[in-house]
Every structure is written in C-alpha cells, then in structure tokens.
Amino acid sequence: MSTTIASAPVETGPADIRGRVAELHGIRAQALAGPSEKATEAQHAKGKLTARERIELLLDPGSFQEVEQLRRHRASGFGLEAKKPYTDGVITGWGTVEGRTVFVYAHDFRIFGGALGEAHATKIHKIMDMAIAAGAPLVSLNDGAGARIQEGVSALAGYGGIFQRNTKASGVIPQISVMLGPCAGGAAYSPALTDFVFMVRETSQMFITGPDVVKAVTGEEITQNGLGGADVHAETSGVCHFAYDDEETCIHEVRYLLSLLPQNNRENPPHAATADPADRRCEALLDLVPVDGNRPYDMAKVIEEIVDDGEYLEVHERWARNVICALARLDGQVVGIVANQPQSLAGVLDIESSEKAARFVTMCDAFNIPIMTLVDVPGFLPGVGQEHDGIIRRGAKLLYAYCNASVPRISLILRKAYGGAYIVMDSQAIGADVTYAWPTNEIAVMGAEGAANVIFRRQIAAADDSEAMRRQMVEEYKAELMHPYYAAERGLVDDVIDPAETRQVLIRSLAMLHAKHADLPSRKHGNPPQ
C-alpha cells in the first residue's frame, strides 16, 4: 500500500487577507492610473480627456461600477506578449445619469491607441449584453484606431459581434455614440447603427477610407477633418446628429439627451415638473407667422413659443435644414416635433429632409415618444437631380415611418399644405390621431396660381386681358377650394383653432392620447422603402 503526499502549495503572494487586499489595491491603482503619466500628458496635449475623465463627466459622481477592470489580452507575437496592460484599452461598466442606470464603454487611446483586440471586444460585447438584459441606455465614448492589426482576423470578428449587438438593441434601448477621436474603416459602422451620434470638432473624425487611401485611389488630396470631421458629418453627410466645440459641452449634452429618453422601449420618457402653465396663451404666434404664404419666417421661434420654457433639443440641426426635428416637453411630457422650416428652401420636402424626418419619426415611435407635426409645406422639391437620385423611394421613407408609427400623433397645419407633401406630413388620411389647423391654413392639391393655370387655361388664353382673367380665376379658386374652413367642413381636420390657444390645445390632446393603444398586424417586420 502506497501513500501519496500532496506537495505544499507554492506561495505567490501575501499570506494573510490584509496583505492580499493591499495587493489588490495596488493592482487597481495601476489599472486606474493607466499606462504612464507621459501617455496621459500626450492625450491632454491633443485637447482630449482620458477615458476615465470622460466617464466622470458623463455619470453622476461616485456612481460608476467598472466591469472587468483587470482584463488583459492573451495574444502573442509582434511584441504583444511583453505588453499586457490592465483593461486592454477599453473601460466598461455602468453608473447613473440623474439617478437612472446607464451603461458605458470608453476606448482608452493611451493603450494600443484604443485599438480593438479580442479581449477588448469581448469586454464591449459583455457590457452591451448587460445593457440589453437590464433595459438601460448604452453610451459609447469612441476614441480608437480601429482593429488591432497584431491580432489579425480575431479583431475583425470582434467588430462583427458589436454590430450584431447594435442591431439586436436597436429600438430596444437607446444607443448613443460619442465620437471623441478617430473612427476609421469598419469601426465606423457601429456608430451608424446607433440612435444618435455626437462629435467634437477638430478632434473626432469618421471615415471608411482615410485621406491616404483616397489620394492613392482617386488622386484627391484632403485632410482628415475635411474628409470626415464633425462639421462635414453634421452638415453634409448627415452621419452626425450633434457637433460641439469641446468634450465637456458634448458630454453635458449627452446627459441632457438621456434625460429626454426612456430607459427602454417598454417605458415612457421621464416626466418633468414645469412651472410653465399648461393653459398659457401664445399671443406672440399671431405675429410670428405671416398670413402671406410666400413670406418666410422662423419655425424655430414657433416651437420656442409652444414648448415648456422655450427649451428644445434639435436633432440634425445643421443637416437638411428645411425640416426641423426636435425633442421638447409639453406640460412636462416629452414629445418629438417634426416641422417644416420656411426659412430654408421654403420648407419643401426633398430627399435629405425626408430621410432626416423619417429616421426621427421611427426613433420616436420605438421609444414611446408622441409625435407633433407642424405643417407649412409647399410640396416636394422639383428637379431632375431629385428625381434621378430617388425622391420617390427616399421620400416614401417618411410616409412609411408615419404610417407605421403607433405612438400618439398630432398634426397642426399653420399655413400651406399642398399636394402629396400635405399627405406625407402626417395628415389625417395616413393616421394622425388629431389634426388641427390655424385660420391661415391653405390645404389644396397645389397653390392657387398653379391650379388656376391648369383648370382655367382655356378661359385665360381666350380672354382679351389674359392676366386680369388669370387673377380673377386665382381668386375664384381660393374662394371655392382654399378657404381655411374647406378641410374642416369635410372632416379632414378636427378643428380650426386660435393660434394663441395652440399650447393648451396640444397639451389637452396629448393628455387624451396618453393611454393610446394600437393593434398592429402580426408580421415579422415590414419592408420599408430604401
């Protein structure tokens, strides 16, 4: 009979618990400090905060709970085995914003340039899964150099996992991407899959192929900011919803946006008490909007007059300016506002404004935000370019979004509402719950001048004074078919209201629709126009 004697354990650290705790604190301090003071100074020299400084700005003080702080990569080759920093270049966890849970991940540019490797990606996957399971918003603070080349295809697969989770979370929890540094190649598709994209001027860029590749392939020379900077994406491409001059302002506005959004698609947006009376009369509206439909005015001032305390957050403010999309509150309740802007292209609908408004309507519907539409639209923008670039299919996106929306929908026609654009801007015919009009409204197939030229062209041509006859026919058409009560008499609007009573009428209507429930047909999903 033989006896096996176990070998004594090898001592690898302090023998008592206090020593082990002290060791833990030392490791944590190392992880919190980052790679080196020099790396931190280099980050600050670029005008950028560190990942942890950004998280501190975003979340309520002391609320951040980090996940996998001590994670390190397992890769080898190309010198990686000698460099295994804690966190592996991404900080993940959760905290609160105004007391509500928010999940966050932040690339640490000081470690591998924030590049994504296998361990780095796995951390992001985990925090995304946690956000979906907990039903809470996810904010990504992006400052990374793309895939970690030394890890090869494993890094690329990590991006695939992020894209899949972005899609899974779409319409389930709010997803906000904050661009605080470079974002190139396939990495740029993750922000594009999220609900909102914030950028900081001069320090953040997004592009699929960088300036060097563009020059090599096309011969065009351009800077990083000229190719994919904040202003380019806020004004030209529409990729960026919000652009700011500095990180502090940008992150503060992210907090404000979160205060207007629900935690998930099963909740309503948070209600906020207001001292702005629900029955406040808006006498200024009588002077803000000219009766003459050809005179421009600023629709933003109309919105300011109606909403609580004149405060609203405009989405895509600098892209497709002929339509305004904004989040605001009415009597403390969050609403999404879609409004034509007569100051830009007379408020017509075109390709970009249709796509902008369609995405906004879809977002509001996904997150239980009632939609209020302010209509002053002369039609769709005519032109060969618009037709050849697909105004039919792309304009149909807005029509589809409204028809598909099941949240409370209120439409208000201020002045012009002509042709197909009138139908598309949430008319009663496509499902608006309540439709109002001001006594300055003109609802018609087209403007009186154009209609008279078509209907009475023979009489005008045969008249001795064709111009006088044309003016007479225009006035007859207006009197017969374009007076402000024509649509109300036929039940196409529910009421014609005093503009000064707009705020109280809208608030009462929202209260009535608060418990609205719409039964939708059973289907896997629709097939929206592309």
User: Mind telling me the catalytic residues?
Assistant: 185-186, 420-421
DSSP summary character for residue 136: -
**Phi, psi dihedral angles at 100 (to 5 degrees):** -105, 140
Q: Of 148, 399, 94, which Cα lies nearest the Cα of 263?
A: 94
**DSSP assignment string, 422-476:** HHHTT-GGGT-SEEEE-TT-EEESS-HHHHHHHHTHHHHHHSSSHHHHHHHHHHH
Q: Is 89 exposed, middle or buried (0-12, 13-18, 19+ CB in 10 A)?
A: buried
| Calpha distance 267→254 (Å, rounded) | 20
**Phi, psi dihedral angles at 69 (to 5 degrees):** -65, -30
| Calpha distance 210→166 (Å, rounded) | 24
β-strand 182-184 against 175-179: which pairing, if any?
Answer: unpaired
Determine how many CB atoms are found less than 10 A away from the CB of residue 210.
Answer: 17
For residue 498, the SS3 value is coil
Element of type H or E holding 324:
strand 323-330
Contact 182, 191 (CB under 8 A): no
| Calpha distance 362→367 (Å, rounded) | 9
Alpha helix segments (H runs only) across 170-306: 189-193, 211-218, 224-228, 230-232, 247-260, 285-288, 299-306
| Calpha distance 17→23 (Å, rounded) | 10
**DSSP assignment string, 149-192:** GGGTHHHHHHHHHHHHHHHHHTTTS-EEEEE-SEEEGGGGHHHH
| Calpha distance 423→439 (Å, rounded) | 19
| Calpha distance 186→145 (Å, rounded) | 11
Q: Is 11 exposed, middle or buried (0-12, 13-18, 19+ CB in 10 A)?
A: exposed
Contact 117, 88 (CB under 8 A): yes
**Phi, psi dihedral angles at 377 (to 5 degrees):** -125, 125
Contact 423, 364 (CB under 8 A): no
| Calpha distance 441→459 (Å, rounded) | 28
Q: Of 316, 524, 298, 495, which Cα lies nearest the Cα of 412?
A: 495
